[in-house]
Structures are given as C-alpha cells and as structure tokens.
Amino acid sequence: MRCREASELMSLRLDSALAEGDEQTLREHLAGCESCAAQWQMIQRVDVLFAQVDLASPPPAFSQLVMGRIQRRSLGLSIVRHGLLLLLGLIILSALTLGPLLAPQSPLTTLLRNPSILNAFIGTLVRLVDILRTLLRAIGLVWGAILSSPCWIVLLGCTLSVGLMALWWLRLVVRPAQPVTQRGS
C-alpha cells in the first residue's frame, strides 16, 4: 500500500466508514511506515482536540438576518415572476393586435409579399440603426474624453462663457434700433 492510499484510509477510519479488510490493511501499513504512523497519531490528536471544543453558537440576531435575506430573495423572485407574467401578457396582446394586420388582405401582408420593397425597407432600417449606433458611440467617446480629462472644469467654463457671449450678441442684434436724435439744432 502507498502512503497516499493510507492517508485516504485514515480519513475514512476517523469517520468510521472503513471496511474491516481495509482497516486491517491500514493497521499493517501503519506498523511498517513511521511517517504514516506519525501522521495517524497527529490526526488522532487533532480529532481529540476538536471533540473537546464546544460548538460556537450563532450570534443572537443570526436567524433574523437569515430570514430577512430569504424574504428579500423571495421578494426578488416574486418580482421576476410577475415581470415574466406581464411580458407573456404583452406578447399575447401583441399577437391579438397584430393578427388583423397580418390577415391575407392587409397592407402589411402585401408589403411582405413584395420582396423588393421589403428589402429596401429593411436595408433603410439597418442603415438608420447603424448611423444611430455610430452617433451614440461618438457621443460616448467624446463624453468619456471630456470627463477623463483633468481640464474638464476649464472646458465647462469656456463653454459657459461662449454661451453667455452668444446670448449677449443676440441681445444686441435683436434689440430694436433706437433712433438717433440730433442735439442743438
């Protein structure tokens, strides 16, 4: 028997789950192997130490904390369940609403039967979505660059001053011209 196998048998022996034949094999190995015998002695001492120690009792509010977590989790599951029921209701309602539109004589059915119009419509939608996605990415990049810059406060100040000057200029341009009066005539 190898020492690794003996170590596994020692663990089983502590749990009283070792067959009689394996126990005899373990005893023979321990008699001939000093390293495993020392390990067995140490394991037995640790087992005795653990047996002498009283089990720690949980804190006084432990059960309340556990029950609170369980209630919060069940509330979360309830919200998910109700959300899924709402989604199912919306799907059913959509199917009932779209049913007449997909009838054999509806304009939508005519559109779906003409592949060239449908392809043009879908292509236009795809291009619009791509443009929108590109614009959103660009806005995100610019916004991220502005906020990550250490000078964003200066940039904000410049923007505000430009805005104030534009308002002042508009006030001057939009204000009706006042007639010039001549003095001394």
DSSP the chain: --HHHHHHHHHHHHTT---HHHHHHHHHHHHH-HHHHHHHHHHHHHHHHHHHSPPPPPPTTHHHHHHHHHHHHHHHHHHHHHHHHHHHHHHHHHHHHHHHHTSTTSHHHHHHH-HHHHHHHHHHHHHHHHHHHHHHHHHHHHHHHHHHSTTHHHHHHHHHHHHHHHHHHHHHHHSPPPPPPPP--
Q: Could you tell me the residue range of the domain that residue 143 belongs to?
A: 113-171
In a domain, 12, yes or no: yes
Number of domains the chain contains:
2
pTM: 0.32
In a domain, 83, yes or no: no
Say what the pLDDT of residue 38 is: 92
In a domain, 119, yes or no: yes
42 pLDDT band, cuts 50/70/90, is very high
pLDDT (tens digit, 9 = 90+) per residue, 131-159? 999 999 998 888 887 777 777 778 778 88
In a domain, 142, yes or no: yes
